[in-house]
Amino acid sequence: MNILHIDSAITGDASVSRQLTAEIVAKLKAERADATVTYRDLAEGVPAIDNDWFQAVRLSPENPTAEQQALIDTSNAYLAEVQAADVLVIGLPIYNFTLTAQLKNWFDQIARAGVSFRYTAEGPEGLLTGKRAIIAYAAAGTPFGSDVDFASGYIRHILGFIGITDVEFVPADRLAFDREAGLARAQEALDKIAA
């Protein structure tokens, strides 16, 4: 089992989502001795897509410049990690009711027509099938699944769009109001996760 472990919180060791992703990965590894882990900390920076990226990655020039090749290589590296993974463990800290900019940038880098999804006569089809995603949702005030949670629905949708439909959440929400209860909800969800 290959695990892709992704964090995106900017709060370092104080991050609840980082603590949860570490616990999820440890649980998976304890149940599967053969598990390997690739770690990616998106808080270190993920380039936003722009016109240069579009010209290089989406239009795939025959003879890319060195700058274009660097953009292609970066996007390909993110995508290769997902392609190689059996399980994605993604930290989803909630900032201003939604996902981090770094995590959104990462999704923009890997959602590529003809590579991670394709358009068909019946509509879009995800190409990264047969994978599982476990999402560590952490929010100070945004209740998981509420009308003001603009992150969890997006994550489920974009993962499904690229073919990953087996999605589980480990939510630690409303931490600013009752931290103990929020962490207890997360622990209950974590206990139910099987490798």
User: Residues annotated in the binding site for FMN, as ranges?
Assistant: 15-17
Does residue 99 contact residue 139 with C-beta atoms inside 8 Å?
A: no
57: DSSP letter: I
Q: Which residues are annotated as a binding site?
A: 15-17
Rounded to whole angstroms, the Cα distance separating 113 from 111 reads 7
Rounded to whole angstroms, the Cα distance separating 93 from 173 reads 10
Residue found under tokens 């989502």:
17
Q: Cite the beta strand spans of the chain per DSSP E.
A: 2-7, 36-41, 87-93, 117-120, 123-126, 132-138, 166-172
The SS3 of residue 169 is strand
Query: Residue 7 forms beta bridges with which residues?
Result: 41
Torsion, Cα of 89, 94, 98, 101 (10° steps): -70
Q: How far apart are the first and last CA of the chain?
A: 9
Q: What totals of helices (H) and strands (E) does the chain contain, helices first?
A: 6, 7
